[in-house]
Homo-oligomer: A and B are copies of this chain.
Amino acid sequence: MLRQVTATLGSVSQISRPVKAKQSTGHGDARRERWRGHRQARRAEFVEAAVRAIGSCGAEVGMDDIAAEAGVSKPVLYRHFSDKSDLYLAVGEWGTNLLMERISPTLRQEGSARERIRRIIGTYLGVIEEYPELYRFVVRRNFADRPVQTDPVTTEKTVIANSLSRLLGEYMRSLELDSGGVEAWSHGLVGMVQASGDWWLDRHSMSRDDLTEYLTKIIWFAIDGVLRAGGIVIDPDEPLEIVPHLRVVEDDVD
């Protein structure tokens, strides 16, 4: 199960730090080429180890812990990750990937607008409930030393919010509505779900289904309001004719 997800991680990693196409750099050497796949596999393996270490040690793992979990010593880790942030970022990608792998199929299923929202939120809450320590690790970021732009969570949240932006933007434009607020709304909605999940994870004062229902309700109202303001009324329980397709990271490559 984990393996399947990780299998796709290599390509994702390429996105953040694209592999230099080093074929024919003077002394064209087949050796570097030969190892490339292996290096990716190794990286993924270490990311998995990190995920396991986070699960056992909690969100405050050190590099030594992760190295130990992977069964190697620290310098080995640093051959594959430039620094802690790099690894953390990879872990974040792993999490995003897992989340997307679970959300995508629900989007391909039939369902009304509200039902789709419900499934996305339910899936999200399910994931953070399943990996609470990983979630904390990713979300409670500790990168005071790094520039803001490279911050893992910001990056991951941005990825998700951007997907949502594209989705909403398409809808809005296809309905010929002003899409000026779409980006802000996307980031806002993502933040809303994240914050609620954060709070819920700490307190657990209601069931997951209840929270899912409450969030679905308010988000639907928000979207419905925007549509109504544009003169469009959609029945929340009618199947959607426009089927959305999430494009997560692939579009960002080229």
Contacts and interface: CB of A to CB of B under 8 A. Distances in A.
B225 A218 contact: yes
A112 B168 CA distance: 29
A241 to B, nearest CB: 23
Given A189-B192, A196-B187, A224 B226 contact: no
Select the residue from A144, A180, A194 with max chain B CB neighbours within 10 A. A144
A184 B202 contact: no
Nearest to A219: B222
Contacts of A196: 184, 187-188, 191
B191 A187 contact: no
Give the bracket for the number of chain A residues in contact with chain B: 35 or more
Contacts of A224: 221, 225
Interface stretch (A3-11, A73-81, A134-142): A134-142
A217 B181 contact: yes
Select the residue from A180, A195, A206 with max chain B CB neighbours within 10 A. A195
Contacts of A131: none
Interface in A182-232: 183-185, 187-196, 198-200, 202, 205-206, 210-211, 214-215, 217-226, 228-229
Contact of A143 (B140, B191, B205, B214): B140
A37 to B, nearest CB: 33
A129 interface: no
A215 B186 CA distance: 11
Given A59-B144, A191-B191, A191-B192, A199 B218 contact: no
Contacts of A140: 141, 143-144, 148, 151
B202 A148 contact: yes
Given A184-B215, A221-B221, A221-B226, 12 more contacts: A140-B141, A142-B144, A158-B199, A181-B218, A184-B200, A188-B192, A189-B192, A190-B195, A191-B199, A217-B229, A222-B222, A222-B225
